[in-house]
Amino acid sequence: MNSDPKALAEAQSQLDWPQWKEAMDHEMATLEKAGTWHTVQQPCDKNIVGSKWVFRIKRKADSSINKYKAHLIAHGFTQIYGVDFFKTYSSVARLGSFHLILAIAACYDWEIESFDFVGAYLNRELNNNEEIYMQSPLGYSNDASTIKRLLKSLYGLKQAGRKWYNTLVHALNSLDFHITYANPGVFFVCIGEHILILVVHVNNCMFTGSFHKADHAIQAEA
Q: Where are the domains of the chain?
A: 8-221
Q: What is the pLDDT of residue 217?
A: 39
Which pLDDT belongs to residue 220? Answer: 38
**Residue whose C-alpha is closest to residue 98's, from 180, 212, 205:** 205
Alpha-carbon dihedral 169, 173, 175, 180, rounded to 10 degrees = 80
Rounded to an integer, what distance in angstroms lies between the CA atom of residue 189 and that of residue 175? Answer: 8
The span from the CA of 33 to the CA of 54, in Å, is 20
Which residues, at least 6 apart from 131, have a Cβ–Cβ distance to it below 8 Å?
A: 46, 83, 84, 149
Cβ 64 vs Cβ 53: under 8 Å: no
How much is the pTM? 0.75
Mean pLDDT, consecutive 10-residue stretches, the chain (222 aa), reads 85 94 94 91 91 92 88 94 89 89 93 82 80 92 88 91 89 92 91 91 88 49 38
pLDDT of residue 2: 65
Nearest partner of 21 among 135, 140, 123, judged by Cα: 140
- Contact yes or no for 186/172 (Cβ under 8 A): no
